Structure 1
Amino acid sequence: MHPMLVYSSSINLWVLEVFTAVWCFVMGSVIGSFLNVVIYRMPLGLNISKPKSRCPICETPIRTRDNLPIVGWILLRGKCRTCQAPISVRYPIVEAIVGCFFLLMYFSLVYSGGRFLPYRIPNKFWGAYQILEGHTWDLIALGLYYNYLFIVVLAGAYIHFDQQKIPLRLLMWCFLIGFSTGVFLPELHPVPAMVTVASEPSATDGILSELRYHGSLHWGFQSTTLITLWWGLFYGGIVGFLYSWPLVVQKEKQSMLFQSGTSCLLILTGLYLGWQQVVTVGFLSAFLLACYEFVRRNRSVDHQPIPASAFIVLVLALQLLLGRYLTLLPGETSITMYLLVVGCQIIVIPILTGLAQSIYRKRETQSLLQDPISVDETSTLTE
């Protein structure tokens, strides 16, 4: 082939890859903009589609050009165009988080050919060009499946940050979509419930997988997929209860670390990812939560403390992007060692969350003891 044709082809491929990456980020930020509406309106029982977005102070509808994700907030300098009331920086932050996650998910899942997925043999074809060739339909569907789980869990964490209850309809829609699509699309669950050393993919399985599986979607009911879903729900319920057990014993229901609905986020994680990965997510979330509270043990409690569900979001994002390096499967070690590691993770989860709750309660008590002192001093000076 002529060198100029090769150079032109490489340039076109580079343009395609850049366009695809930018498109993923833009679509993610647009969905993040809608997610802001869900986070604000759904807990209040408001309609998420009507009326259009408007300033909460002067109630002036936001113009289309001012409602662009991230860019609109920057152009307005964080203020309403009409009344100059400040617009929370949380709106562009949510849009940027979702946009960046969609972009990273594209590179980690679709562009790489599924090389970061646990257990699954990577696709032979990879890169943005393979989307046009139709070799990545399975990974695109899996990416949409994972992205939806992430935005629902992210919305739940932000709703908890606002000290509100996660709406039941948000959780139910996520459950129904995850179960109904997952039970008929086996490609959405690359890690089966029963993984043994004998079922570890071989070289022959890899060749057959290239011919029969990768790049395509197979619509149909399979009993093994249903078993995977049920095991994921079962372990998701166990991990969810062990992670949020302090919610059951605490008496006060305000300004708390664990809030209603935290366990549901892990149940959904088990449904979408399977029981092996939800154990990892629960353990790492509890570990990071305990470390965070330990580091802040000598500081006063914030007015809006970071809820425990925020750490689920962080670990879930890492699990979705780097699942191959965070998930331990039986084929990678001996059965005895595997059961020992998984058992220790499950046992340690309630210990870590209980430790985090204890540290948080101690910080909260110290803050309450300091507040009356400051009030008395202020009243004395006033008199």
Structure 2
Amino acid sequence: MQNRPSFPMFKLLICSLSVLLIVFFLFLPTIEFFSDDSTLQSTASSNELEDQSLYDLILLYATSLFATVSFFALGAAVGSYLNVIVYRVPRKLPLTFSRSSCPACGSPIKLSDNIPLISWLRLKGRCRDCQAPINIRYPLVEFSVAAIFLILYFRELISGGANIPFREPNLYNGVLWILFYTKWDLVRLYLLHCFMLTSLLGWALINADGFRIPISSLLTCLCIVLIAILIWPDLIPLKSTLHSVHAPHRSDVLISLFFGTVSGALFAPVLVWIIRKTGLSDFTHLNSVNYSFILCGMIYGWQAMLTIFLMTFIFILLQQISTRHFEIHVLRAPGYAVFLSVFAFHYFWRSLAWF
């Protein structure tokens, strides 16, 4: 009878294969790309592949696939931590130095059972110890955040900023030209906007659970965004008088931050008042609407808030129609409508930035 390999040896084998794949799909193409002058001369962008050999094409597609999977996995990991935040913050539980546990039996969750998306499927949606069902919302949130990271990866990052207004999209785009010849301004914009959309989704989830979002959550997000924008003013795309690309001055950025934040703080109570007066929602806590508008005003500027206000109102009406007539109750919290409207606005930001 043959002996089966021990579990540590199996893990070592998997890790070794993973390292080999990373070396083959990522580091070798990168080193070869930077060291090959003919590649730079013959390739205007990663989309022009006529002069490439079959080997170069395979490496390019493999590298693109690896980068795509990596950004999706990063989003899923952030979504997993967002589940922790949504559960612990309103209950005033610590976010650090404590392992996740099963809400039913209290058993600590093993690291091997805490892999985003994969663990829920492997456990068939049940706790390993007590077999209590695990809410399907956990993998759905992980998948939603992963989808945010992936969609913005294609729409904003490797497209060269195709959706960013008042900024000429990068002529050389794609994985190689954006990531390997790193365009740090695009990377910073991408991370900021992923952070914003993930925060909006988290606030919507907390309100949907019937909790009020603590003010500390808003202040933390505003401080992070403010510090990032003050360090890198180009995170706020501004329209110049000559309609040309320019590096905004910090004074212009501060003015945009002030008026944007104030406009968000003014539009939000109006929307909440309309929701309550018209009976569009029976939720007790709606401060996710207020917090989302304030954060969006800081990032998008006052010019965008009227459009976001109107889009959110339309989304809320559609939300109520689907709830009452089609009995779709999954996304009936107004915070979800805010998140979806902001996501739609961000996707078409360049087209909707009309002044």
Q: 1:233 aligns with which of 261, 266, 278?
A: 261
Deviation for aligned residue 1:13:
1.5
1:32 aligns with 2:60: no
Matches within 5 A, 1:69-88: 69-88=116-135
Between the aligned partners of 2:182 and 2:202, the Cα distance in structure 1 is 32
Alpha-carbon offset, residue 257 of structure 1: 6.7
Is the counterpart of residue 286 in structure 1 residue 313 in structure 2?
A: yes
| Contact preservation (8 Å) 1:258, 1:308 | no
- Residues 184 and 222, structure 1, Cα contact 8 Å, conserved in 2: no
CA offset at residue 247 of structure 1?
A: 6.9
Equivalent position to 1:68, from 96, 115, 138 = 115
Change in Cα spacing, 1:306 to 1:4, as seen in structure 2 (3 Å) is closer
Q: Is the 8 A contact 2:268 2:293 kept in 1?
A: yes
Provide the rounded CA distance (Å) in 2 between the counterparts of 1:89 and 1:100.
Answer: 17
- Return the TM-score normalized by structure 1: 0.73
Q: CA deviation at 1:262?
A: 1.9
Q: Pick from 292, 296, 307 the counterpart of residue 333 of structure 2.
A: 307
Pair 1:329 & 2:354 matched: yes
Report the equivalent of 1:359: none
Between the aligned partners of 2:171 and 2:349, the Cα distance in structure 1 is 19
Report if the CA contact (8 A) 2:210-2:284 is conserved.
no
The Cα of 1:248 is off from its aligned counterpart by 7.5
Q: What is the aligned partner in structure 2 of residue 171 from structure 1?
A: 218
Q: For the residues of structure 2 that align with 1:158 and 1:8, how far apart are their CA atoms?
A: 47
8 Å contact from structure 2 (residues 160, 178) kept in 1: no
**How high is the TM-score relative to the length of structure 2?**
0.79
CA distance in 1, matches of 2:261, 2:217: 17
Per-residue CA shift, 1:299-337, capped at 9, x if unaligned?
Answer: 7896x8722111011111222223123x1413xxxxxxx
1:300–1:319: structure 2 CA closer, same or farther, 3 Å change rule? closer
Query: Superposed, which structure 2 residues align to 1:88-107 within 5 Å?
Result: 88-107=135-154
Aligned to 2:32: none
Task: Name the structure 2 match of 1:343.
Answer: none
Q: 162-171 or 94-103: which moved more? A: 162-171
Moved over 3 A (4+): 1-5, 131-135, 246-251, 294-302
Q: From 287, 292, 307, give the equivalent of 1:265.
A: 292
Alignment partners' CA distance in 2, 1:145 and 1:305:
25
Residue deviations 1:26-56 (CA, integer Å, cap 9, x gap):
0000010000000000000000124201111
Cα root mean square deviation, aligned: 2.7
Looking at structure 2, the residues matched to 246 and 48 of structure 1 have their Cα atoms a distance apart, in angstroms, of 35
The answer to whether the 8 A contact 2:264-2:296 is kept is: yes
Deviation at 1:5, TM superposition (A): 6.0
| 1:187 equivalent in alignment to 2:230 | no
CA–CA distance in 1 between the matches of 2:302 and 2:230? 15
Please report how far the alpha carbon of residue 296 of structure 1 lies from its aligned counterpart in structure 2 after TM superposition: 4.1
Select 1:244's aligned residue among 259, 272, 279. Answer: 272
Residue 136 in 1 paired to residue 183 in 2? yes
Deviation at 1:88, TM superposition (A): 0.2
Tell me which of 237, 242, 251 is aligned to 1:223. 251
